[in-house]
């Protein structure tokens, strides 16, 4: 099936661009979508959120069952925490970037739309011209021999009390399926596991930086399970993690072209720039109430509201005590993703910095050198640690930190960011969970609440925090909603 591809560019209200001559609020993108001309007072299903979980749920229900579906979104665009800016005429991924054939839901959808033919490599992740790490204020080369040592560190980290990673988590897409020995260790943080290991400090420091990238948060706040999950789902190797999570992305329109393709098959109504403030239910119907007071009813509601935002919604009747606690607890990733544009044409380098270093940036790499003559230079992707950037508009500090810690002497011509931590509709980046959160909250977050179903990458079974997890969760919710519609359930809910 061919891809739906809208090439019109509009300026979303989101994102920030700095250049030495001035700054801009709101970035150029093809992800901005208009509402349909009219909406009704009642639907079979209302899907809240036009990220990948919501898009695929809305598409499946409207296309396969002919259900009357409303897709409602607080933002002015599709994609949720994943969208592509087209500043400088380049595909710049503001959130969400990499895909891989090991991600089953993602790759099947890419094949569906012919987008599997649009994959392109991230050279700096696969074969960088230079690979360095700052440890104890000194910059050292990461050689092939050192990478082999890191592989052994990863294997040791994910082996506990004689259990290998395969014995701890044999079914990473079905984590509670027995045997699931990992449950014994869910109370352990990644830092506690690191502290148990007797390996050379430099190897431990580089490995700590690598796993820090799984959530851009302190390893004291990250559960051991999160690291084990990434390791297991990527084939039980550190090389597999790098391959599956940072080697390939979409060209020719980026992740927004993927979101557009799914939206192109949706046969329902759309309501954008409309915030939902309350969800209530009773008898055979449920209702959403928007921030402006508009009320729309449905037989089923699918909420894809992120975990860190669930507490902002009033539910009547209220959510269970455990789900309410999970929403208040949230996930730990408040990191930031920056894109820097440099005037120099650099070789495609890769750089990490010790988690214990004062640098806000944990990682930086040269993504590409511009796709046309007017943008020749180097486009750099950076990951900043949770809480390390207090003001995304403080260009003097951000550029100075970049030159001091990542690329000395660089000619910084611009930087772009979507401040996910401050965004009221995300309140954080991709999901990363604390110790005990998995065993305590995951089953509860996946349960329905009467006629309200919940779908989000934040509580997916497998690729949690990834587009694949969003698709997994959205498809599951759509199937459940269809069962409810088919059964015409009334009092049994």
What would the pLDDT profile of 373-408 be if each residue is shown by its tens digit? 888 999 999 999 999 999 999 999 999 999 999 999
pLDDT at 81 over 70: yes
Q: Return the pLDDT at 377.
A: 96
Is pTM, for the whole model, over 0.75?
yes
pLDDT at 489 over 50: no
φ, ψ for residue 479, nearest 5 deg: -65, -40
Q: What are the DSSP E strand ranges found in 235-369?
A: 248-250, 269-271, 276-282, 285-290, 295-303, 314-316, 336-342, 350-353, 361-368
Taking every pair of Cα atoms in the chain, the longest distance, rounded to a whole number of angstroms, is 69
The two three-digit tokens of residue 412, written as one number: 């910084």
168 contacts 160 by C-beta, under 8 angstroms: yes
pLDDT tens-digit series, residues 162-214: 999 999 999 999 999 999 999 999 999 999 999 999 999 999 999 999 999 99
Percent over 70 (pLDDT), the chain = 98
Residue 483, annotated as binding a ligand: no
Distance, CA of 357 to CA of 135 (rounded, Å): 8
Residue 57, annotated as binding a ligand: no
Q: Return the pLDDT at 166.
A: 98
pLDDT at 412 over 80: yes
pLDDT tens-digit series, residues 41-79: 999 999 999 999 999 999 999 998 879 999 999 999 999
Residue 247, annotated as binding a ligand: no
Q: Return the pLDDT at 3.
A: 40
Distance, CA of 421 to CA of 335 (rounded, Å): 7
């Amino acid at each position: 099936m061919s891809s739906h591809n809208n090439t019109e560019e509009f300026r979303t209200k989101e994102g920030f661009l700095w250049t030495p001559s001035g700054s801009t609020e709101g970035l150029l993108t093809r992800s901005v979508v208009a509402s349909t001309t009219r909406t009704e007072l009642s639907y079979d299903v209302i899907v809240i959120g036009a990220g990948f979980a919501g898009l695929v749920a809305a598409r499946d229900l409207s296309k396969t069952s002919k259900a009357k579906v409303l897709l409602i979104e607080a933002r002015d665009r599709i994609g949720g925490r994943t969208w592509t800016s087209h500043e400088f005429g380049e595909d710049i991924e503001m959130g969400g970037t990499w895909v891989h054939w090991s991600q089953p839901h993602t790759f099947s959808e890419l094949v569906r739309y012919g987008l599997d033919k649009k994959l392109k490599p991230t050279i700096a992740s696969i074969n960088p011209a230079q690979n360095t790490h700052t440890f104890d204020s000194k910059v050292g080369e990461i050689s092939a021999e050192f990478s082999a040592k890191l592989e052994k560190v990863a294997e040791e980290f994910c082996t506990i009390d004689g259990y290998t990673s395969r014995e701890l988590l044999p079914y990473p897409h079905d984590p509670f399926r027995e045997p699931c020995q990992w449950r014994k260790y869910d109370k352990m943080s990644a830092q506690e596991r690191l502290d148990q290991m007797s390996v050379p400090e430099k190897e431990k420091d580089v490995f700590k930086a690598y796993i820090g990238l799984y959530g851009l948060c302190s390893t004291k706040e990250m559960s051991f399970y999160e690291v084990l999950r990434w390791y297991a789902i990527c084939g039980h190797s550190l090389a597999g993690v790098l391959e599956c999570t940072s080697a390939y992305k979409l060209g020719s329109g980026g992740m927004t072209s993927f979101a557009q393709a799914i939206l192109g098959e949706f046969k329902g109504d759309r309501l954008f720039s409309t915030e939902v403030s309350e969800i209530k239910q009773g008898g055979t119907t449920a209702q959403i109430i928007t921030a402006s007071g508009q009320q729309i009813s449905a037989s089923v509601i699918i909420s894809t509201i992120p975990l860190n935002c669930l507490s902002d919604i009033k539910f009547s009747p209220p959510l269970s005590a455990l789900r309410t606690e999970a929403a208040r607890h949230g996930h730990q990733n408040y990191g930031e993703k920056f894109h820097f544009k440099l005037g120099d044409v650099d070789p495609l380098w890769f750089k990490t910095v010790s988690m214990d270093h004062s640098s806000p940036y944990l990682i930086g790499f040269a993504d590409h050198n511009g796709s046309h003559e007017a943008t020749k230079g180097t486009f750099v992707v950076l990951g900043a640690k949770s809480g390390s950037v207090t003001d995304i508009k403080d260009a003097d500090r951000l550029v100075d930190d970049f030159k001091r810690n990542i690329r000395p002497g660089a000619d910084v011509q611009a930087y772009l960011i979507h401040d996910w931590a401050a965004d009221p509709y995300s309140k954080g980046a991709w999901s990363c969970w604390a110790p005990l959160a998995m065993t305590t909250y995951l089953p509860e977050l996946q349960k329905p609440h009467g006629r309200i179903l919940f779908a989000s990458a934040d509580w997916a079974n497998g690729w949690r925090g990834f587009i694949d997890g969003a698709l997994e969760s959205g498809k599951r919710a759509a199937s459940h909603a269809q069962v409810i519609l088919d059964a015409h359930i009334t009092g049994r809910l």
